[in-house]
Amino acid sequence: MNATTDDSMRDDSTRQNLPRISRRIASIAESATLAVDAKAKALKASGRPVIGFGVGEPDFPTPDYIVQAAVDAARQPRFHRYSPAGGLPDLKQAIADKTLRDSGYSVDLAQVLVTNGGKQAVYQAFAGLLDPGDEVLVPSPFWTTYPEAIRLAGGVPVEVFAGPEQGYLVTPEQLDAAITARTKVLLFVSPSNPTGAVYGPDEVRRIGEWAAAHGLWVVTDEIYEHLTYDGVPFTSIATAAPALGDKVVIVNGVAKTYAMTGWRVGWMVGPKDLIKAATNLQSHATSNVANVSQMAALAAVSGPLTAVEEMKVAFDRRRRAMVGGLNAIDGVECPTPHGAFYAYADVRALLGRKLGGSTPTTSAELATLILEKVEVAVVPGEAFGPSGFLRLSYALGDEDLAVGVGRLQEFLSSAG
């Protein structure tokens, strides 16, 4: 090594220029949905009567028999210890059984990894599949975590936008126009967060077959599988398009189906080599999911679906109230969502109009104005793709929902 190199390598001023926070992590945006929720909760804590349409979580308590399973587990010393990083074998088996029951997809225990919520499953699926520069097709509007998880893994999210005119559903033709030599994965989610859109069986099959024909992997997020309305069925792309072979990763969890967002149990189902790689990653990142939560999840996934059927009745009623209320506002267009618990309203016609003393030109500005003026929390479209939309969760009490929609109607109708 010559003296010049040696000096420059020891140069303190060069070292001072190293960023404090790594570029990779510094580029991650705060979760916009959680940010809106935090702002709304802070306002509420200070005594303001805020109505929160921001966050996506059922307002029901976790069913009793599930809580009881956790209580029983908490009393057993074996659950006070480390357990296998990839999950308790009984839970993995129950997840395999449930995947066959609900997705029609047959897997064994070695194809299951229990994760800290669906979020960690999404993260590890992309970490396990992507090398730097690999592209992932992401139908837009998209759940805000997908692009961040893709970028963290060194991948490149390629957004494919489907607007309300097409029911927020992408077509194989649109995907085809976005594919390149670097495309490795298609992200698929139905029912969708943020739009509530559900792909029909034929649409799922066509998209799956298109992906298979191009040798792509499909990461399919099935977390809202049990929340569909109007008789619209859930269709798993894993079984609708058998041509995908083993290049399918299902991500799922107990959060939405059993009102268990806080328990943090999700899973990844996929081919053995990918599951093994992701388990290795998890063994260094987080180890096993809390055993008490895993035992609660075991009671959930091996038990009945009655609780979700009851929640669905309430969600369905609220869905109709919300969509009807939103569409009654001049300048707001909200296609009827057939799944999940979100309405995705097109507010492009409202932008540029005078409202409450200001003239919002983006949905982010409009959402801020709505929170400030009428104390209703909604998430702007910018969190999920293009500006011009608002996501409203209807997973809240009927009375709050009616008050919140009433406030929106009054405020937004004053646009001129």
Residues in contact with ligand PMP by the rule CB under 6 A: 56, 117-119, 143, 189, 193, 221, 223, 253, 255, 261, 266
Closest to 340 (Cα-Cα) out of 385, 383, 395, 388: 395
Closer of 117 and 404 to ligand PMP (Cβ): 117
Tell me the longest C-alpha to C-alpha distance in the chain: 76
Say how many C-beta atoms besides its own lie within 10 A of residue 309's C-beta. 10
Residue with nearest beta carbon to ligand PMP: 117
Closer of 298 and 374 to ligand PMP (Cβ): 298
Query: Min. distance of Cβ 54 from ligand PMP in angstroms?
Result: 11
Query: Min. distance of Cβ 344 from ligand PMP in angstroms?
Result: 13
Say how many C-beta atoms besides its own lie within 10 A of residue 65's C-beta. 13
Task: State the Cα–Cα distance between residues 77 and 186, nearest whole angstrom.
Answer: 43
Closest to 232 (Cα-Cα) out of 294, 301, 303, 167: 167
Query: Min. distance of Cβ 303 from ligand PMP in angstroms?
Result: 18
Closer of 120 and 363 to ligand PMP (Cβ): 120
Angle of CA points 310, 314, 315, to nearest 5° = 110
Q: Determine the length of the chain.
A: 416
User: Using an 8 Å Cβ cutoff, are 39 and 378 in contact?
Assistant: no
Which element (helix H / strand E) includes 64? helix 64-74
Query: Min. distance of Cβ 379 from ligand PMP in angstroms?
Result: 11
Token pair recorded at residue 106: 């047959």
Closer of 254 and 329 to ligand PMP (Cβ): 254
Query: Min. distance of Cβ 223 from ligand PMP in angstroms?
Result: 4
User: Using an 8 Å Cβ cutoff, are 342 and 191 in contact?
Assistant: no
Query: Min. distance of Cβ 252 from ligand PMP in angstroms?
Result: 8
Query: Min. distance of Cβ 117 from ligand PMP in angstroms?
Result: 3
Closer of 86 and 360 to ligand PMP (Cβ): 86
Query: Min. distance of Cβ 410 from ligand PMP in angstroms?
Result: 30
Closer of 189 and 374 to ligand PMP (Cβ): 189
Task: State the Cα–Cα distance between residues 285 and 98, nearest whole angstrom.
Answer: 27
Closer of 348 and 391 to ligand PMP (Cβ): 391
Q: Based on C-alpha coordinates, what's the Rg of the chain?
A: 23
Task: State the Cα–Cα distance between residues 314 and 300, nearest whole angstrom.
Answer: 20
Task: State the Cα–Cα distance between residues 315 and 318, nearest whole angstrom.
Answer: 5
Closer of 279 and 393 to ligand PMP (Cβ): 393
